[in-house]
Amino acid sequence: MMEPNGDDTMLTESHEALAREVLIHGPIGRSALGPRLGLSPASLTRLAKPLLERGLFIELDEASTGSVGRPVRPLDINPDLGDFIGLKITGDSVYAVLTNTRAVIVDERELPLLSTEPSAVIELLTTLIRDIATLAPAPLAGVGVSLGGAVDDNGRVLRAPFLGWSNVDLAAPLTEACGVEVTVENDVVALVEAERWFGAGRGRSGFSVITIGAGVGYGLVIGGESVHTREAGVGLGGHIPLDPTGPLCPEGHRGCSSALLTSVGMCAQVQGALGRPVDYDEVLTLATNADPVAVAVVDAAARGLGRLIALAANLTMQPTVVLAGDGIGLWGIADDRIRIAAAADRDPLAQPLEILVDDIGFGAWARGAAAVAIQASIARLTGAVTFP
């Protein structure tokens, strides 16, 4: 972050709320900010003053609104505040992105994970962070790491089955090694935060998030805030029954979301019928080219995803659903079938479904990690005398 200019005004949660609104919705005029935060013009001016003086905010050139009165000078986040790195750990690789303050991806790369020993993973992440930091146009302001598993508030990985980890401290050694604050979060939680602040859900007060890929993830935003629970890393979306006649998942559940929707489940069905290995992209290509086995698998997945979308909307009473993840290619070839299946499980009097798609693919996971680092950077303003 930029160095403060000497103003020692104590920053509060109100300053954090203002910074968050400008970050998410800026450039934005004071007349729009006031009602969003429930602030009078005088209070808004008072809160914005130290953030302008310290360089967190900038005022853009005056613009006329077409109404009588002085032209407005919208507030925005200073683009020179810093850059962020997001890293997503899988069972066999680490995917990294460099982003600006609004989680726009500037650069990206992927490295194989040759060992899942915590010390080896920390060494690889440290090297990757240092290498990517040299590409950052602005100073590095924070790093986020996401992975499938349960993570506590201190960045300790309580459980990550795909890595064989239990009670591994990840944030502290990375922060010490890299000299920059590192935030560790469950991958679905991080992706939901990215969608809420910067992605498809931006500006919406409530929506569900469904991720498909190697697994099936689920998140929820209500009243503009993410629903946080210690069960976020348990994978509660992974075994919802969707088709009583469907295939079995490895845990013996027939027609559950993991059996129908994961890349692993879909590939297993196709390669079992063809008698040879196939990857997810080939399954989609075969289905596009009318291969009967792949078409049947994709049709079943489309119906299952449609049913899962309807379930999410019906049970949460949030008609907006965001789809994301590295398996989002399914939507690209079967969106019509997904929409039909989702509509079939909705009451005719219910509000129409709004299905939003984040088509970044695998990069969405790493961008999610960067997003929680950005959030942590803004949160550190609360009660602070100076910026970090």
Do the domains 13-77 and 83-193+365-379 sit in the same CATH topology, yes or no? no
What does CATH list as the number for 200-357?
3.30.420.40
Q: What is the mean pLDDT of the chain?
A: 89
The pLDDT score that the predictor gives to residue 229 is 77
Q: Residue 330 in contact with residue 290, Cβ under 8 Å? A: no
Local confidence band at 3 (pLDDT 50, 70, 90 cut-offs): very low
The pLDDT score that the predictor gives to residue 228 is 82
How far from each other are the two terminal CA atoms of the chain, in whole angstroms? 6
CA distance 185 to 62: 40
Q: Which residue intervals of 249-291 are DSSP H helices?
A: 257-261, 263-274, 280-288
CATH 3.50.50.60 fits 83-193+365-379, yes or no: no
Local confidence band at 173 (pLDDT 50, 70, 90 cut-offs): very high
| Structure-token pair, residue 354 | 């709004």
In the predicted structure, residue 386 carries a pLDDT above the cut 60 = no
Express each pLDDT in 7-29 by its tens digit.
556 677 888 888 888 888 888 88
pTM: 0.87
| Structure-token pair, residue 1 | 């972050």
Q: Reading across the β-sheet that carries 182-186, which strands appear in turn?
A: 105-112, 93-99, 83-89, 140-147, 182-186
Average pLDDT rounded to a whole number, residues 123-146: 93
The residue whose two tokens read 């915590």 is 118
Q: How far is CA 229 from CA 28, 47, 255, in A?
A: 32, 32, 26
Average pLDDT rounded to a whole number, residues 324-342: 96
The pLDDT score that the predictor gives to residue 209 is 95
The residue whose two tokens read 């790369």 is 109
Q: How many whole angstroms from its chain centre is CA 227?
A: 14
CA distance 103 to 56: 16
CA distance 24 to 44: 17
What one-letter code names the amino acid at 67?
S
The pLDDT score that the predictor gives to residue 384 is 38
Express each pLDDT in 46-103 by its tens digit.
888 888 888 888 888 765 555 555 556 899 888 777 899 999 999 999 999 999 998 9
The pLDDT score that the predictor gives to residue 14 is 84
Pick the more confident residue, 317 or 5.
317
In the predicted structure, residue 1 carries a pLDDT above the cut 50 = no
Local confidence band at 383 (pLDDT 50, 70, 90 cut-offs): very low
Beta-bridge mates of residue 63:
72
Average pLDDT rounded to a whole number, residues 124-150: 93
CA distance 24 to 234: 29
CA distance 155 to 178: 15
The pLDDT score that the predictor gives to residue 216 is 93
Spans of all domains in the chain? 13-77, 83-193+365-379, 200-357
The pLDDT score that the predictor gives to residue 385 is 31
Specify the CATH class of 13-77 in words.
Answer: mainly alpha
Give the torsion sign (CA, 70, 39, 102, 196): negative
- Comparing CA positions, the residue from 376, 361, 382 lying closest to residue 105 is 361
Q: Which of 51-60, 80-89, 128-137, 352-361 has the lowest mean pLDDT?
A: 51-60
User: Taking the CA of residue 327 as centre, how many other CA atoms within 13 Å lie in the half-sphere pointing to its CB?
Assistant: 25
